[in-house]
Every structure is written in structure tokens, then in C-alpha cells.
Amino acid sequence: MNIAQLNAAHGIAQSVEFIEGSGGLTMIRVDTPKARALISTHAGQVLSFQPTGEEDLLFLSEKAYYQDGKAIKGGTPICWPWFGPDPEGKGRPGHGFVRNRAWNVNNTQVIANGAVKITLGLSETPDTMEIWPHAFELTQEIVIGDSLNLALCTRNTGTDLFTITQGFHTYFKVGDIHQTSILGLQDCSYIDKTDDSAEKHQTGEVTVASEVDRIYRRVSNTQIIDDKALDRCIQILSQGNKTAVVWNPWEKISKEMADLEDADYQRFICVETTNAAEDVIGIAPGEEFRLVADYRVMR
């Protein structure tokens, strides 16, 4: 559907408008009494979530790509049906194949208290069957209101059990990484991907002073990003995950990544709600699995 057809089918006066965004990609502008948001249908990804009177919760790179086949650096990328490198080592793209293709718009709706729910979806095509030979229905419900609430629902529409790993690879905007800490992961063990996947133990809060790439295990359902420079805390509530990933590329990798500014590592932290490492989800035919993340500012 083109922009006019999408607006005719799914636009809602004063609340939901389809527009042509960066790179000519179809985007959805959402306006509610509590917050505004910008969602890209390419990648099924929220690029901006700004509660009224607050800075954006999300970091979006000024150098992000907006192209079919490429991921958008920032916002809330979806890693699916695997998190991280190809689990079968066949050279398929890192973090799966739904963060770099167009999603369908299934529904838009104003719900309680003026919040807006946008439902995006994807199912198998001959192209996805080549990459991952399973029939599926992937649905993402995005609710913009007091909080940004994301629910990713995977339904197995095929005849054999399949397994997935996945994650919301969310880039949170911070005022200064040096003055940022993450609470709620203390006493968890983690896999340190910057140290040959050594198993380590987290004592106290997480601070970032060099590259960080960690899979935390057996996490609770709450993490808090304490951002002293912006004088705010972001609360992350999750359901369906046993793992969480913390990632910051730091200076060298930031410089090497063509879609990041050199100093961008100072401006974001990824705290990712995941099913990663041994947190693998098996889904039987006809069954579904739901992963949920909810983000809000606390003062």
C-alpha cells in the first residue's frame, strides 16, 4: 500500500499519520496526550518515543541507514529468529532477518486513556523460507502512552517445532555514558563477549568505561538506567525473557561503524530484553510465544 492508501485504511485523525520518512521509507507518526512517537514500517522499529516535556527515550544515529536490506542504527531494532551471529554458522545475517525488511501494518487503534496501539506483522515468504525454512506469524504490538510498550508474538503456523532466540535491541539515549549506570543486574552471572565469552559475576550496578558486550543470565523483570546527566531514570519492565544484553561499543568500534558518529558511544546504552545464549525458546505447531518490554521515565 502507498502512503495515501495506508492513511485511508489505518490513519486516525490527530493520532496516527503515515508519512514518507528518511530514505523514502514509510513511517508512522503517532501523537497521544502523553507522548509522541515515530515508527518505521521498514524493520518494524520505533525510532522515537518522546513523552510530553521529556527528552526522547531513544537514541537514533544521525548516520543511520534507511535502506531496504539494512538495519537502522537506533531506536528499537528487532532481533529475530536469532539473536547475535547465525546460530548454524551458515553466514546468514547477524540478529536475523526482520530488522532489515518491510513489515505489514495490521491495525491501528486508540485504546484506554488516549494511548495508541499499532500492530505490525510479518509472515513467511519464499525469500524468508530460503533463509529460515519455517512458516510463522510474527506480530508486534506497539503501545504509545505513559510508557512505550512492545510485545513481540511468534506463532508457529507450520507443522514442526522450531526454536528461536530474539531480542529488543533498544538504544536508550543518555546524557553522558560516563554518568550512567544500570541497576537491577547485580548478583547475576554474565557472558563477557569482550573477553572470549568468559563467565563473570556482576557485583553492584553496571557502569561503562570501555566496550561492554554482555549477556546477563537469570535476570529479574526490572532494570533501571540511571542517567545523571539528563537527571532521569528509565525503567525497563519485561516478560518472557531470562536474559538481558548490555552493549556499548565504546570509542574504537564507534569510530569503525560507518553508521555511528565517532562520539556516539557517549550518547547511548543498549539494554536489551532478550532470549539469548541458553535462553532458547521452542515453539510447537499452533503455539505462540510472547516477549514484552515496557519503557518509561521515572523521576
Binding positions for ligand G6P, rule: CB under 6 A: 71, 84, 94-95, 169, 193, 213, 245, 247, 270, 272
Secondary structure class of 255 (helix, strand, coil): helix
Q: Is 13 exposed, middle or buried (0-12, 13-18, 19+ CB in 10 A)?
A: exposed
Q: Give least dist CB 268 to ligand G6P, A.
A: 11
* DSSP classification of residue 24: G
Burial class for 99, CB neighbours closer than 10 Å (0-12, 13-18, 19+): buried
Q: Is 169 a catalytic residue?
A: yes
Which of the following is catalytic: 62, 130, 169, 251?
169
Q: Output 21 or 84, the one with its CB closest to ligand G6P.
A: 84
Angle at 291 (CA atoms; ends 58, 192), nearest 5 degrees: 70
Nearest distance from residue 177's CB to ligand G6P, in Å?
A: 15
- List the catalytic residue out of 10, 42, 134, 272: 272
Report the residue number, 160 or 256, with the smaller CB distance to ligand G6P: 256
Alpha carbons 97 and 134: distance in angstroms, whole number: 13
User: At closest approach, how far in Å is the CB of 20 from ligand G6P?
Assistant: 25
Identity of the amino acid at 142: I
Cβ-proximal residue to ligand G6P, closest one: 247
Q: For residues 205 and 259, which CB has a smaller minimum distance to ligand G6P in the complex? A: 259
CB of 82 to ligand G6P, least distance (A): 12
Q: Return the amino acid letter for 178.
A: H
Least distance in Å: CB of 126 to ligand G6P?
A: 25
Cα–Cα distance for residue pair 139/170, rounded to 1 Å: 18
148/269 with CB nearer ligand G6P: 269
Question: Nearer to ligand G6P by C-beta: 104 or 189?
Answer: 189
Determine whether 201 is an active site residue: no
Q: Which DSSP letter does residue 92 get?
A: P
H or E stretch covering 270: strand 268-275
Which residues are the active-site residues? 169, 272
